[in-house]
Copies of this chain bind each other. A is one copy, B any other.
Amino acid sequence: MSNMPLPSSFNPAGIELDRRQGLSRQLYQALRVRVLDGRLASGTRLPASRDLAAALSISRNSVVRAYDQLYAEGFIEGRVGDGTYVAQLPQAAVSVKKLSTKLSTKVSTGFSTGLPTALSTNWLDLPVISSSKVIHRGALGRVEKNHLALPPSGPPRAFRVGVPAFDLFPFEVWAKLNAAFWRKPDLQQLCYGDPAGDARLRGLIAAYLRSSRGMQCTAGQIVITSGAQQGISLCAQLLVEPGDTVAIENPGYQAAGHAFAVAGARLQGVAVDSEGIECAQLAELGDCRLTYVTPSHQYPTGVVMSLARRLELLAWAERTQGWIVEDDYDGEYRYSGAPLAPLAALDRQGRVLYVGTFGKVAFPALRLGYLVLPPSLVDAFAQRRAVDMRHSEVSTQAIMAEFMAAGHFQRHIRRMRRAALSRRNCLLNHWPMSIEGVGNLPAVMAGLHMTVPVSSVARERELIEYAESVEVEVNGLSNYWLPDSQTPLDQRAGLVLGFAAVPEPAIEAALARLRKVWCD
């Protein structure tokens, strides 16, 4: 073992590790905290892993794992042949905790995204709103037919978006747990329950998020929801007043836009670049109440939000006292490195509301999700849920708790990750090489779908029609944009492909059919 002196600016003595807990995770957190609070300044050279291991008397493996995670998240960087350094992070983000609690909201001057203030076209033409008025005003209470896009139902097909490899769910185990619950139910559980959800499940979710996401949350911060959609909808109902501006990624997740629009929000689309939502554009919006983002795997482009951008977004929320709704809908799926730290794990001012779901690990129809809330918001959310529906069905919660406690959940996540990776590879390997007007496949580091650029919206429509003719489901990227976006129409075109819904043979068969109609 070498015993080289550690770089002088780095003091491992300040790092205290509890040997009863995971050492790698603790080291990762200790280093992250020091980067964020400036104790480890940008450019600081870190000790080689074997030296730090020796200094802390832990295994080198633990140090390597901690470094890997910090590297994946952008906190540190390597220079070839020259060791490991603390990365350059945006100054505002690193120092923001030193600012006093509230700054006056910066008012933007004359900035306009060109987006409409009224909800009038395309996927925001939400008759859920207008119908309410029709109901009121119409003499006969007639409601016109409307055009709210619902997720596709029917048997899973290639390349449906938003559906995991749920054919691999251990239904036999789930059936047994169900039978066990119902054969000897605790009568007390069958009365009215806590609107925030089953206490045991809340505790297990908090523990899972602490260990898998580095979130320092407690059971008391968890509110169980009917899927991610109810989590988003509750945020909209409780945090947004009619007329408030809400920023959403553009292109983005339509169903979230619907939930905010129903609450009366004035939606503003903010562009997404290779690092995630463009915070500079967000800052120029001026008075913005809330920003909805998908940092783990941007929906639908697949971009993973960089650490710098995450910190910049948090700085925006702290500066403006705005809210961030972080939808981590498929954060379990990351194929290189561990998942990045969610915004909720980096948040120190209680500005982030984290939306999680079991739908992408188990199956969508389970309708089981959760919110992780700043403690001061928990009561209001639980009570609103009580007024809306009292609470979720009891057995699903209790059985998921048992599924987690017995270790099935962790095993299943690993199985699902492997399956998604293998299905992703199958799609990448069998994708037709040259399709007219279709760009290159992206690197797919995370999630359950990928997005491929197409030369024009006309060509996009054509490809989708051909696909539909051979019973292959392909989504058009152009559908995910807000109306009147500044991005030229043809730059909005693309194909969104879910790769996890069906097994490899079905993927290959679908691609063979696509090759015929697309390439001939």
A interface residues, Cβ below 8 angstroms from B: 101-102, 126-128, 131-133, 135-136, 139-143, 145-146, 148, 150-156, 160, 162-163, 166-167, 169, 171-172, 174-176, 178-185, 187-195, 225-227, 229-230, 233, 237-239, 241, 244, 255, 258-259, 262, 289, 321, 323, 350-351, 363-368, 374, 376-377, 379-380, 383-384, 386-396
- Contact B380–A367 (Cβ < 8 Å): no
| 6 closest Cβ pairs, A-B complex | A175-B182, A365-B394, A151-B192, A230-B389, A226-B389, A131-B380
What are 29 A-B interface contacts by the 8 Å CB criterion?
A: A102-B139, A127-B383, A128-B383, A128-B387, A131-B379, A135-B238, A136-B239, A141-B323, A141-B374, A143-B377, A146-B379, A152-B191, A154-B191, A155-B191, A156-B188, A162-B192, A175-B179, A178-B178, A178-B182, A190-B363, A192-B364, A226-B392, A229-B387, A233-B388, A258-B387, A262-B387, A367-B391, A392-B393, A396-B396
How far does the Cβ of A381 sit from chain B's closest Cβ, in whole Å?
9
- Nearest B residue to A198 via CB reads B365
**Which residue, A166, A226, A237, A323, has most C-beta atoms of chain B within 10 A?**
A226
- Contact B175–A145 (Cβ < 8 Å): no
A376 to B135, CA, bound (A): 9
**Which residue, A189, A238, A262, A365, has most C-beta atoms of chain B within 10 A?**
A365
A262 to B263, CA, bound (A): 12
A191 to B140, CA, bound (A): 36
List residues of chain B with CB within 8 A of the CB of A133. 241
From B194, B238, B390, A227 is in contact (CB under 8 Å) with: B390
A192 to B364, CA, bound (A): 6
A289 to B394, CA, bound (A): 35
- Contact A188–B226 (Cβ < 8 Å): no
A321 to B140, CA, bound (A): 8
> A226-B393, A383-B146 known; A187 and B156 CB under 8 Å?
yes
A151 to B195, CA, bound (A): 10
From B193, B225, B363, A153 is in contact (CB under 8 Å) with: B193
